[in-house]
Structure 1
Amino acid sequence: MNQDKQQPSVQLELQEHYGQILSLLGEDPQREGLLKTPERVAKALQFLTSGYQQDPEAILRGAMFREDYRQMVIVKDIDFFSMCEHHMLPFFGKAHIGYIPNGYITGLSKLPRVVDVFARRLQVQERLTTQIKSCIQKTLNPLGVIVVIEAQHMCMQMRGVEKQNSLTTTSDFTGAFSEAKTREEFMQLIGHSRR
């Protein structure tokens, strides 16, 4: 309830700051095209960082089922959008998750939801990868978890080195995925074969 009361005041404060930013950039926040921009940007930023208000472990626990299945479960090509904490510019791409159950499975839609929770925070791709892996490992206690993320970073494409076709890949894994053979099977199943 306290959080609900804070949201409107946070939005109003963000709007005020964005109005000031527009002025500092040399714009007129009172011109027609910019009149509602501070409000729109404030709402967008609150949505893009809404992961701070969500519990990813609770999401997984909300759909945990006992199941005697001990083969790989994979959800691949999970689209995500996040904000780079260094420049507050977007990075986006696909996450691929695999785990080997150890008595419990989770609803398949819960894995993309966990990705969204962590992606909707100010991030770096490396931490995002590890947070998703650690959350699944801690909550489901599977025999192993692997997360691979491929992303394009607007902070590299729009500014700085300006390399538009660069793709960053990160991975993290636990347990059974420490074995090269198991990792290779996962990579083949998500469509990434070694050449």
Structure 2
Amino acid sequence: MDEQQFGVEDWRRFLGSLGEDPERSGLLETPQRLVGAWQYWTSGYSQDPAEVLKVFEDGAEQYSELIVVRGIPVYSHCEHHLTPFFGTATIGYVPNGRIVGLSKLTRLVDCFSKRLQVQERLTIQVANALMTHMQPLSVGVVVHCRHLCMESRGIRTPGEETVTSAMLGGMQNSLALRTEFLALARGPG
């Protein structure tokens, strides 16, 4: 977020529009904190998914089974209300002669999460980026999130979870592969 576009003075006016006194001691530093917070929360716009994904050929030549990473943290902001949504993502893929550093999957989710989002788009962006930049045989992504726009306003239903998925490549056509991925995504139990 560019400070010139929405900076400290804008946040002071915003606080005033809520009926607050932006000069109150507890709020004096809040506008500057908000500028920094929104720069961090939207830092995904300046990240290139291709640069996030470091691909290795060594070690993957003989591997042709699913690789799954579960429990990847998701922290994002709904583009409709600017409220947080949060949860976890699971990513699975079948390599095609190349693998990715496992931490890069977390970084990829983070890259797209740190943009104003809807969960459905976030899910497909992660899947498409993997297919484009890794060219695996298949990709599956499942995202589970709670949305504060639903929990704290409107319907006010705490604890509801939204689940989205994207299946590309072999997972679109192979029921066995899709079933295996979804079973691994659920985990033990």
Q: Following TM superposition, by how much is the alpha carbon of 1:63 offset from its aligned partner in structure 2, in angstroms?
A: 3.8
Structure 2 partner of 1:70? 64
Structure with greater helix share of residues: 1
Q: Distance in 2 between matches of 1:56 and 1:173?
A: 19
Cα deviation code 1:81-137 (max 9, x no counterpart): 000000000000000000000011010100000000000000000000000000000
Structure 2 unaligned segments of length 5 or more: list them. Answer: none
Structure 1 partner of 2:185? 190
Structure 1 partner of 2:176? 181
| Secondary structure at 1:103 match in 2 | coil
Matching residue within 26, 31, 34 for 1:33: 26
Q: Distance in 2 between matches of 1:36 and 1:97?
A: 39
- Are 1:103 and 2:103 an aligned pair? no
Cα deviation code 1:129-165 (max 9, x no counterpart): 0000000000010000000000000000000100102
Q: Distance in 2 between matches of 1:170 and 1:12?
A: 33
Closer/same/farther in 2, CA of residues 146 and 19 from structure 1, 3 Å limit: same
Structure 1 unaligned segments of length 5 or more: list them. Answer: 1-6
TM-score (norm 2): 0.93
- Are 1:131 and 2:125 an aligned pair? yes
TM-score (norm 1): 0.90
Matched residues, number: 185
Structure 1 vs Structure 2 CA RMSD: 1.6
Q: Distance in 2 between matches of 1:54 and 1:11?
A: 20
Query: Are the equivalent residues in 1 in contact too, given 2:73–2:89 (CA < 8 A)?
Result: yes
Instruction: Detail structure 1 runs of 4+ shifted over 6 Å in the superposition.
Output: none
Matching residue within 157, 165, 168 for 2:159: 165
User: Could you tell me which amino acid in structure 2 is paired with residue 111 of structure 1?
Assistant: L
Closer/same/farther in 2, CA of residues 32 and 50 from structure 1, 3 Å limit: same
User: Could you tell me which amino acid in structure 1 is paired with residue 89 of structure 2?
Assistant: A
Q: Distance in 2 between matches of 1:131 and 1:35?
A: 38
Query: Are the equivalent residues in 1 in contact too, given 2:55–2:134 (CA < 8 A)?
Result: no
Cα deviation code 1:152-185 (max 9, x no counterpart): 0000000010010210000001111122221111
Q: Following TM superposition, by how much is the alpha carbon of 1:190 offset from its aligned partner in structure 2, in angstroms?
A: 2.2
Structure 2 partner of 1:23? 16
Structure 2 partner of 1:150? 144
**184-193 or 82-91: which moved more?**
184-193
